[in-house]
Structure 1
Amino acid sequence: MDLKSELKKVISGTLMVRVFSVSATFLTSVLLARTLGAEGFGLYSFVYALIMLVALPCQIGIPVLLVRETAKLESEKSWSKMKGLWFWSGKTILMISALSCVTVFLFQLIKGDGDENQFLTYVFGVLLIPLISLGNCRAAALRGLRKIVKGQLPDAVVRPGFYLIFLTALWCADYANSASLAMGLNVVSAIIGFIVGGYLLVASSPSQIAKVEADYSDSKKWMASSLPLALIGGLQVLSGQTGIILLGLIHEESEAGIYKVAVSIATVMAFGLQIINMIVSPYAARFYHSGELSRLQKIATLGAVVGMSVSIPIFLLVLLAGEDFLSMIYGAGFAMAASPLLILAFGQLVNTFFGSTGTILNMTGNEKVAAKWFGVSAVFNVIASVILIPFYGVVGAAVASSLSVLLWNIVFWILAKRNTGIDGSLLSLFSCVRSFK
């Protein structure tokens, strides 16, 4: 299959997967908000944000490394090192997950007020750390093998699909939901996705993998590369969760739930860019490694175009009917999310305009300089949030987040052009148009 046909197949498959994932996630957030109420949804959102935060080292860095290194090792037919990479990543993630679980329990002991529902929410949340982290690891290996659609199925279809089914069943049965029960059902869904992911990886692995011994000779290099990648991904998630966590600590937990709704809807604006980033990752590593920069530039330009084509209509909807939409879908209690939603939507519009610059940097070996500047923007976000949230609440959190998004996107765009020669922004479209004249 040639590249054009392969990309068409991957894009169409990824589009269907992501449409389902975004739809299921959106419907899940609606069901959670309506069945838990602002207070219960706030507790669920706060604990889930905390879980994602402490699991950052094993959720982001190693999976990104797996995509890049698996793609390179497959092109070199280094099956022993590929097997070693996969085993090394699994063992490392399990060790980090154990430390993350202890961190959450210690936090709960300090902050907990003896409430059983709150305690069980934390307990179930802890179980998600190894399940999601190892699941991301398996998905990354599949994407590195260019099984991009299969790599998304466990976490983008199976897990959210079953979670939506479980929550819908509760709602239809008129069974009283709680934050702890909702988190427990999330764990059950993650276990099902984990099992499916394991099967897909075994079925899709090169036959040579089973016949060779694992080679761990590059483990030090893998660890050295995974640290800045983990820092980038971790800081990215931290920037997204900073507002929720600080609102939960400084203000009432109900405000964290309101802000979570705004974040969830604004994130949908990056839907098109997320699709392309899934596709760009393995191809960027292969094309940059082989010197095929023109091919990489075409994919990067496509990403910016697709991203903006999705973001602009959603931004206009938020601008013109944000409050009415929130009241109709989530309930009148969440109408005050309209202002932070508009601010966050503008930030996502900026994010999609600049395209896949972060992915390009990570896949071409520029993760260290990217981590440095993402760290600057994350620190800026935290400082701005600490200053603004006490006075402006959810609006202050949204302003801090959007300003940090603007900062790191501009810097990443400059770094990608300077270090790789690739322009991942929508501006590259004009260069492509001029090249055809």
Structure 2
Amino acid sequence: MYGFVVLAAISFILIFYFLNRIKTSNTNENVPVKEIVRLSLPMGVSNVIMYLLLSIDIFILKKYFGNQAVAHYSVALKIITILSMIILSATINISPKISELYNSKKFLELEALCRKTAKIIFSVNVVISVLLGLFIKQVLLFFGPEYLAIQNVFFVLLFSQLFCSVFGVVPVYLNMTERSRIFQKILLITLSINTALNCILIPLYGAMGAAIVFTSSVVFWNICVVIYVYKKDRIKLYFN
């Protein structure tokens, strides 16, 4: 974890340095480097927080239950990243469109886009989830018979990604509408809750405790973003 933080800090310093060295022409379309940093820094911090949300449970689990428990839990996490990649792929593709529609104040089109994307993501992930659920024993046996013990952990984690799928573009909406600082604050609150709950539940329930905390954290920050966006923009990010 420390290596990741150090590399992130070095990367930020280098990017800031080289951006300042870029010579730009005098046109109205130029964006000041400070403005780029102002908008992108909270996104970078949010990415670090996301990394911590995926790492703190691992460190605490290792402390109390050792490397074997971490290995089992990590496999369950890796499997559900299939669903995460679907969400990521879809949101990356429509991110520029979200920004364009928001800045053009075409809120009806924006809501339609967000809800349509959420419906597509959810539909695809439901199919994948059903297949994973049906063949999870075979998948876990590929890693070894001892991994069958994490079936219930897997299903808890699977629920977290299905829940994310309902809301589709939540991970990128605030970033693409120039409110990355709001998203950063929501994630910071989530990180605090996540750390506290991990310290309580992992010693008691092991990998299942970690999965419950992870899922609770995902549910919390997704709901926070959805409520905030609806109050501010009157846009529903979920489909129904």
Q: TM-score range by the shorter chain?
A: 0.7 to 0.9
* Residue equivalent to 1:384: 197
Sort the Cα spacing of 1:216 and 1:283 in 2 relative to 1 into closer, same or farther, 3 A.
Answer: closer
* Residue equivalent to 1:362: 175
Q: Deviations over 1:366-412 (max 9, x none)?
A: 11222112211121111111111112111111111000111111111
SS of residue in 1 equivalent to 2:239: coil
Residues of 2 paired with 1:91 and 1:307: CA distance?
38
Contact 1:344 1:398 in 2 (8 A): yes
2:32 is matched with which residue: 200, 218, 224? 218
Residues of 2 paired with 1:260 and 1:91: CA distance?
37
* Residue equivalent to 1:259: 73
- Letter in structure 1 aligned against 2:192: V
Q: Deviations over 1:331-381 (max 9, x none)?
A: 223222322111100111111111112311111011122211221112111
* Residue equivalent to 2:110: 296
User: Is residue 2:27 matched to residue 1:91?
Assistant: no
* Residue equivalent to 2:50: 236
Sort the Cα spacing of 1:292 and 1:269 in 2 relative to 1 into closer, same or farther, 3 A.
Answer: same
Sort the Cα spacing of 1:211 and 1:223 in 2 relative to 1 into closer, same or farther, 3 A.
Answer: closer
- Letter in structure 1 aligned against 2:70: A
Give RMSD over aligned pairs: 3.1
- State how 1:119-138 maps to structure 2 within 5 Å: none
Residues of 2 paired with 1:393 and 1:92: CA distance?
45
**Mean CA deviation greater in 236-245 or 220-229:** 220-229
* Residue equivalent to 1:410: 223
User: Is residue 2:214 matched to residue 1:394?
Assistant: no
Q: Deviations over 1:201-257 (max 9, x none)?
A: xxxxxxxx99948x9972333333333222322222211222223223333122222
Shift of 1:413: 0.6
Contact 1:53 1:237 in 2 (8 A): no
- Letter in structure 1 aligned against 2:165: T
* Residue equivalent to 2:94: 280
Residues of 2 paired with 1:417 and 1:362: CA distance?
16
TM-score by length of structure 1 reads 0.49
Sort the Cα spacing of 1:262 and 1:299 in 2 relative to 1 into closer, same or farther, 3 A.
Answer: same
Residues of 2 paired with 1:349 and 1:251: CA distance?
28
Contact 2:16 2:37 in 1 (8 A): no
Q: Deviations over 1:283-302 (max 9, x none)?
A: 22222222233332232122
Residues of 2 paired with 1:392 and 1:92: CA distance?
48
Name the % identity: 23
Sort the Cα spacing of 1:92 and 1:388 in 2 relative to 1 into closer, same or farther, 3 A.
Answer: farther
Q: RCO higher in 1 or 2 (8 Å CA, sep ≥ 6)? A: 2
Sort the Cα spacing of 1:287 and 1:260 in 2 relative to 1 into closer, same or farther, 3 A.
Answer: same
Sort the Cα spacing of 1:90 and 1:333 in 2 relative to 1 into closer, same or farther, 3 A.
Answer: farther
- Letter in structure 2 aligned against 1:335: L
Residues of 2 paired with 1:345 and 1:286: CA distance?
33
Q: Which has the larger radius of gyration?
A: 1
Residues of 1 paired with 2:40 and 2:184: CA distance?
11
Sort the Cα spacing of 1:426 and 1:241 in 2 relative to 1 into closer, same or farther, 3 A.
Answer: farther
SS of residue in 2 equivalent to 1:252: helix
Residues of 2 paired with 1:265 and 1:371: CA distance?
27
Shift of 1:315: 2.6
Contact 1:53 1:238 in 2 (8 A): no
* Residue equivalent to 1:69: none
Residues of 2 paired with 1:331 and 1:355: CA distance?
34
Residues of 1 paired with 2:37 and 2:128: CA distance?
40
